[in-house]
Amino acid sequence: MKLRGVVVGLLLSSLVLVACGRETSPGATSTKVPGPSVAQNVTVQGSPAFARMAQRGTVVIGVKNDQPGLGYLNPKTNKYEGFDIEIARLIAAKLGFDPQSKIEYKAIPSAAREQAISNGQIDYYVGTYTINDARKKQISFAGPYFIAGQSLLVKADDKSITGPETLKGKRVCSATGSTPIQRVRQQGLTDQIVEFQTYSQCVDQLLAGQVDAVTTDDAILKGYAAQDPQHLKVVGKPFSQEPYGVGLPLTDNALRAKVNDVLDAAAKDGTWTQIYNGTLGASGSTATPPAVDRY
Ligand code: GLU
């Protein structure tokens, strides 16, 4: 793993960053994904959110900042990077905003996403955000642009946890307001649930021996394991389907259609694969884009 040398520093620094809560930074990112071309003279008829962005001259995007490979504020570069960030940048570019200079990122934890979208604090959200019916009552989703699945992260030397059926009596950590924590509760997988705002806090608890497992999407957990493969591993098979969507204001159908067009085009013209290969797929895994669901 190329990341290995910087692992300890990253973990320590990311703790400090996460502790600050909402983090904003300049728009640039640092990955191997080529920057998208910026569309000119874009209009999105009938979209209040687009009108707001156009008036402001910038786009405010809600993201995660502590999920390596997906949405990550790299403390070494002070830039955002990852699959979700590249999707967010692509959408901005196709809405006419230069990702290098016209994006403001806001780090928003799982439990605060619906509120941040519906009160207009952000224009859209891209951050491991599962599309589901409960959330669709408060906001709307473009996508999906990726399908993940719930999994388990444990200490590398743990032999007792191998899948969801082995969690009884174990201390299991996840994020407040997430679908994985709901599933642990609903399925009664354990009665010892520990919750934090962010998954990196759970990972710290796991490394410190305060919890036995962290549960959330495999894509997220693999990122933590890749940063510290000596101490962490992902176990078992994914036990849910988590289709990731772009979170948008509930009634902004025009923006939803436009973002779906962008995702659709990226799937067809190879941009999606380029983004995947430069981020989540950097260690050699492959994937294909899901079809968007214009519900
Ligand atoms: N995809 C799941 C969710 O949206 C877990 C990841 C997250 O919390 O962002 O709840």
Instruction: Assess if residue 288 is contained within a domain.
Output: no
Please indicate, yes or no, whether residues 90 and 68 belong to a single structural domain of this protein: yes
Please indicate, yes or no, whether residues 8 and 107 belong to a single structural domain of this protein: yes
Mind listing the pLDDT tens digit for each residue in 198-215?
A: 999 999 999 999 999 999
Q: Which domain holds residue 118?
A: 2-147+243-283
Please indicate, yes or no, whether residues 161 and 72 belong to a single structural domain of this protein: no
Nearest CA to ligand 1 atom 10: 178
Q: How far is the CA of 31 from the centre of ligand 1 (A)?
A: 23
Ligand 1 touching residue 96 (CB < 6 A): no
Instruction: Assess if residue 110 is contained within a domain.
Output: yes
E strand residue ranges, 82-187: 103-107, 124-125, 139-148, 150-155, 171-175
Ligand 1 touching residue 84 (CB < 6 A): no
Domain boundary among 217, 235, 253: 235
Token output for 294: 């214009």
Please indicate, yes or no, whether residues 11 and 115 belong to a single structural domain of this protein: yes
Instruction: Assess if residue 290 is contained within a domain.
Output: no
What is the CA 236 to chain-centroid distance, rounded?
21
Ligand 1 touching residue 67 (CB < 6 A): no
Query: Does 22 have pLDDT greater than 90?
Result: no
Instruction: Assess if residue 291 is contained within a domain.
Output: no
Please indicate, yes or no, whether residues 18 and 68 belong to a single structural domain of this protein: yes
Please indicate, yes or no, whether residues 107 and 179 belong to a single structural domain of this protein: no
**234 within 8 A of 218, measured Cβ to Cβ:** yes
Give the CATH number of the domain where residue 136 resides: 3.40.190.10
Rounded to an integer, what distance in angstroms lies between the CA atom of residue 239 and that of residue 148?
A: 10
Q: How far is the CA of 42 from the centre of ligand 1 (A)?
A: 31
Ligand 1 touching residue 216 (CB < 6 A): yes
Mind listing the pLDDT tens digit for each residue in 65-84?
A: 999 999 999 999 999 999 99
**Quick one: pLDDT at residue 284?**
84
Residue 15 banded pLDDT, cuts 50, 70, 90: very low
Backbone φ and ψ for 287, nearest 5 degrees, come out as -160, 160
Pocket test for ligand 1, best of 70, 113, 129 (most atoms within 8 A of CB): 129
Please indicate, yes or no, whether residues 113 and 18 belong to a single structural domain of this protein: yes
> Global pTM?
0.90
Please return the burial class of 140, using the count of CB atoms within 10 Å of its CB with bins 0-12, 13-18 and 19+: buried
**215 within 8 A of 173, measured Cβ to Cβ:** yes
Interval 28-49 mean pLDDT = 86
**CA–CA–CA angle 238, 239, 245 (5° rounding):** 80
Please indicate, yes or no, whether residues 163 and 102 belong to a single structural domain of this protein: no
Lowest mean pLDDT across 26-35, 125-134, 180-189, 267-276: 26-35
**CA–CA–CA angle 188, 192, 195 (5° rounding):** 100
Instruction: Assess if residue 91 is contained within a domain.
Output: yes
Pocket test for ligand 1, best of 84, 87, 130 (most atoms within 8 A of CB): 130
Please indicate, yes or no, whether residues 131 and 269 belong to a single structural domain of this protein: yes
Q: How far is the CA of 233 from the centre of ligand 1 (A)?
A: 19
What is the residue-averaged pLDDT of the chain? 91
**Cα separation values, 220 from 49, 72, 119, 152, 169, Å:** 29, 11, 27, 10, 24
Instruction: Assess if residue 294 is contained within a domain.
Output: no
Q: How far is the CA of 46 from the centre of ligand 1 (A)?
A: 30
**Quick one: pLDDT at residue 31?**
54
Instruction: Assess if residue 33 is contained within a domain.
Output: yes
Looking at the 3D structure of the chain, how many domains does it have?
A: 2
Rounded to an integer, what distance in angstroms lies between the CA atom of residue 277 and that of residue 50?
A: 30
**Quick one: pLDDT at residue 25?**
40
**Quick one: pLDDT at residue 30?**
46
Residue type, 197: Q
Domain boundary among 196, 212, 235: 235
Please indicate, yes or no, whether residues 156 and 110 belong to a single structural domain of this protein: no
